[in-house]
Structure 1
Amino acid sequence: MLADAVNILAAKAAKLRKQGRDPYAARPAKKGSKGAKAEKGGGKAKAAAAGAPGPGAAGGGRAPNGYQLFCKANKQRLMAQDPAAETKHAVAIVAAAWRALSEEEKQRWAEDARRAGGAQQRRAPAALRKRAAAAKPAAAAARKAAGGKGGGAGGASKSHRRSSSSSSGSGSSSGSGSGSGRPLNAYQLFIRTNKERISAGLAAAAAAAAGGGAGKGGGVLAAAAAEWRGLGQEERQRYADLAAQQQQQQQHQGADG
């Protein structure tokens, strides 16, 4: 069938060349014809009339239809037989051969295409799983990297909170800052200065109420915070000045050291 189509088209092409015409040049469609409507509609009607799918039917991973499968099988063979032939010539020959097929033959190609499409759909989940499995290590590495950055920031934040809590809740042995070497602010200095007094007062209150016991750290900090909120602006400024003096002393010590 394909050989007959090749011979017919070759004879037709030779005849047109004798007339000085390009056998593969597109002829303008008559007004009101299907071809004209196809040109006006962007080629969709022409593709449907020729048995070909519309634009994009073979793209996006979709399975080919009967016409596309027929074209793929025969165009490659034609190009192999005549490597010098242009692709559009091979397509024209294959399209003519397709139109010459009987309905039964077209139906067989359509069934082959459906079987090929079913096989493609069965392979698709496996391919997707394979791609997902290949992407897992990279995704895990990205999550690990993001988690490491977040963990580092969280760790630094927690470390800072522990440092602040240590300097504000229990004070520091150096008297010039927290355990991390940072100078105390006014609030931290207030807590360090008054912690023992507040703790003793809580312990006495607990002893009177429940028969003994020292003030807990959390209770001391809560009581100190409440007392700080009750301070006037002048008292807060006094602690701020003391904290600034200690900061300057610490800076001088660092420069001397």
Structure 2
Amino acid sequence: MRQDLHFRLERISAWCGFVLLLGFAVAFSVGHLITPMDPTKNAQGVVEFLTDNQTGILACAAIMVLVVPFEYPFVVLTSMQMRRIEGGWGLLSMVQLTTGVVAPIGFFFPIAILAAAAYRPESHSPDVLYAMSDIYWLMLVGNACIFVLQVWSIGYAALVDDRAKPVFPRWFGYLNLVLGVLLIPGAFVFLTKTGPFAWNGLLANMLPTLVYFIWKIATPIVLLRAVKSEEEEAAAKAAEPSALAST
């Protein structure tokens, strides 16, 4: 493959991060799902929510189906840049890749379950819809902690990079480590319905969501800069034979 095409594809992959961010924001806004439902809401309240927001929830699911695949080139590019740090495919880049390719499932499966509940709420009992709503919120928030190793692998790679011009800036390494820590409380949503560890709580939902959106803005920018530095390195290597020949 021509180098210019290679780097063009890498830049497109980095821009996929912005596509994901915009798509998620639109999808959850349309579905009225940005603000988590109160875990103590009764079955009738859940039925009313699904009925009142049926169109929005189904549209949210459709948007997610279209947007989520953009996660794959974004994840692959991240590992390719980490590969530069490790000098080839290594533990950190492979951990990021294997955990990252699972990430879309963590978004789509929960919304598919909620969409199934909203698809025809009149055909199911309130108890069934209540359970499906619980599955959605528990999976969406609770499963986030699965990706701790993904962001920690990125963060650690950024911090151990001893190149003269690092692939990732050090602040990005710390951002990933902080996000990993903030994802851990999600595991406790299965144990409580109120407080900071509930699925609408400060520690399990609000702070991780805020930092995740910051990460989703920062990562494409960092990747675009990394691709630029990779392109400059390739140009410098290509110029070396010419410089040697002229001497």
- Judge same fold: TM > 0.5, yes or no: no
Q: With CA pairs under 8 Å and 6+ residues apart, which has the higher RCO, 1 or 2?
A: 2
Q: Say which structure is richer in helix.
A: 2
- TM (norm. structure 2) is 0.23
Bigger Cα Rg: 1
